[in-house]
A and B are shown apart, each in its own frame.
Chain A
């Protein structure tokens, strides 16, 4: 009885799935899905090598400091970094006094309360503070940015596929729309106020090219500030903001794997030893 019922249920589900397949297949053949402009012109991130790649990867502190400088002088005007505190910058090689100075001189002030009157005011950030947000709220952010809210960058490199390469590709990927695109998809012309970038999911984004000219920042360590260099450096910095414990993780992982290999080898030997008398043919 169970089996007859099962066969009936099975015939229903399988049969209806097969009919759905035929219906879907028929419309697939008669009206093949139209190619979309995103499908044709969206590009996967460029290949770019970083010092933190691979199981032994480490951050290059000089690069992180340069990337931080790009963030400070370019990105931070619009983008927040709300999960990172000034004190975290010590991981970049700054000492306590330097971190204190960076916080104190930060262009955006931390919201506070006037101790005398209780009214809303601002104060200089201290190392314990997280990076203050450039806009008071999303409405202000959208109003100042052509109706697009600049996303928080703390986790950006983990919030996109191949995030470090993605940020680098996006920053270096601004270009004019290809003639081919306009020929095949005339409706997909980049709207006024947006900017074409094939590394962005829907090809047009509100952010104008933030890194546009060589020497836009002046690196203290004498590195030539080409657009490519600045993009790599800020991608490395944003990888650190998203994954500050990467080096601890790699170190702990290596030690754990070595320990486990030895322990598992010993466990295998004791397994063989214990079973030795059972694995002989003559019992």
Chain B
């Protein structure tokens, strides 16, 4: 679907006309990310992160496929083949550091993308399906990243795999058989490594598939925008190309500069030194921590320290950790306020900032050792996390008095330029 005023694909060259008749793939691309897709004219830089996430996935797939050519998925040699890639493969160090830091940057842009959606109410009708598919992508990313981290077969790889699969062991009765089934043994070993490699190679392409659905679902209602007011006419939109391709080009440049700074000058800053020690089932690291992008969830997992009658604390932690992500699937029906954008929701906006700080605190505690005071801090922070989504958001929607909305996107844009660019307004149009 598209707006009636969307530009039409009209191939001029006879070859392109011929292709369009047989297989209208260029037409599909034109309508999806070309001039044929009208987009609100007032998107701010936070709308860059979807495209940047796509770019991050491409970087991961390209570097990952090359690394797979030099990797041996066998517990006896895996660590050594990764080192060989770093030392003896042409630009192997670049591929590996780009892949490891690329995962971090993928999560950075996706977290910004998610928090953008939370602030501007992008999950609300009619874009619920876009949100739900985005969460599916997020879950697939987490699974892929976890299995990828196991592949170098360092100490954190091994013990991370043991802890995370051990979460399933907390499920009563069937837990331990499930853990054994997932690992292909009683502890992480060659069988685990092989299946993780196989799935780690497969899932990025599943992610790419779900991204296509995500964009497809987005194109039904069209992109949201910072005012949250729907598009009313042609004056509210610009064609995706060249307007947003140009803006995304600039955004991609800034992204690549930030990525390069870390990749070339501090490639191990986000990693854990223990993963440069070969996996050793007989020696447990002092602190087992996942990669930074899992820290908020790891903090929630460890925040449950008291049994709830017959439910052991460990099982509660596992349930809460899964619930902390699954509850996001219900968000479109929890926040019932008809106003989308946080700009016009004064109370909601304050709580959004508290949530942002809360997740940062959870992240910090998740990376810290499981000792006081971090456990107590993460208990309070985790309590707020659940309260925010499950209690506070439904209540705000009910009691908040939103600010008046602009009449249209164009009206909001003109108000901004009228203020900051008053002199230009006096110049007559050519």
Contact = CB atoms under 8 A, between A and B. Distances in A.
B157 to A, nearest CB: 13
Nearest to A166: B273
Contacts of B93: 245, 248-249
B246 A267 contact: yes
A11 B379 CA distance: 14
Nearest to A15: B383
Contacts of B14: none
A254 B249 CA distance: 21
A16 B316 contact: yes
Contact of B273 (A14, A159, A283): A159
Contacts of B229: none
Interface stretch (A23-31, A107-115, A179-187): A23-31
Interface string B399-411: 0000000000010
A280 B276 contact: no
A255 B152 CA distance: 29
Contacts of A3: 333-334, 336, 394
A171 interface: no
A282 B418 CA distance: 9
A257 B235 CA distance: 39
A253 B273 contact: no
Given A6-B390, A13-B383, A264-B257, A20 B303 contact: yes
A120 interface: no
Nearest to A265: B253
A36 B286 CA distance: 14
B424 A17 contact: no
Interface stretch (B19-27, B211-219, B369-377): B369-377
B427 A267 contact: no
Interface in B365-389: 371-373, 375-376, 379-380, 382-384, 386-387, 389
A33 B371 contact: yes
A14 B417 contact: no
Contact of B306 (A19, A161, A261): A19
B323 interface: yes
Contact of B389 (A10, A24, A268): A10
A245 B85 CA distance: 12
Interface string A268-283: 1011001100111111
Contacts of A13: 320, 323, 382-383, 386, 390
Nearest to B372: A28
A68 B84 CA distance: 21
Contact of A271 (B246, B256, B327, B371): B246
Contacts of A163: 273
B254 A264 contact: yes
A248 B90 CA distance: 11
A260 interface: yes
Interface stretch (B188-196, B201-209, B259-267): B259-267
A2 B330 contact: yes
A3 B93 CA distance: 51
Contacts of B247: 271, 275
B261 A24 contact: no
A25 B376 CA distance: 7
Contacts of A20: 303-306, 313, 379
A253 B333 contact: no
Interface in B82-102: 83-84, 86-87, 93-94, 97
Nearest to B249: A267
A7 interface: yes
B313 to A, nearest CB: 8
B198 interface: no
A64 B274 CA distance: 25
Interface residues of B, number: 75
Contacts of A28: 372-373, 376
Contacts of A254: 264
B325 interface: no
Contacts of A18: 379-380, 383
Given A13-B320, A261-B257, A280-B421, A270 B246 contact: yes
Interface in A118-133: none
A244 B414 CA distance: 57
Contacts of B375: 24
B327 A24 contact: no
Interface string B159-191: 000000000000000000000000000000000
Contacts of A242: 276
B272 to A, nearest CB: 9
A260 B256 contact: yes
Given A6-B327, A244-B87, 15 more contacts: A2-B333, A6-B391, A7-B391, A10-B390, A13-B383, A14-B386, A21-B383, A83-B83, A158-B268, A159-B274, A250-B264, A260-B256, A268-B253, A275-B247, A281-B417
Interface of B: 41, 80, 83-84, 86-87, 93-94, 97, 235, 238, 242-243, 246-247, 249-250, 252-254, 256-257, 260-261, 263-265, 267-268, 273-274, 276-277, 286, 303-306, 308, 313, 316, 320, 323, 327, 330, 333-334, 336, 371-373, 375-376, 379-380, 382-384, 386-387, 389-391, 394, 410, 414, 417-418, 421-422, 424-425, 427-429
Give me the 7 closest cross-chain CB pairs, A-B, nearest first: A253-B264, A10-B390, A264-B253, A281-B425, A159-B276, A21-B379, A17-B383
8 contacts: A14-B387, A21-B383, A28-B372, A28-B376, A245-B87, A250-B264, A254-B264, A271-B247
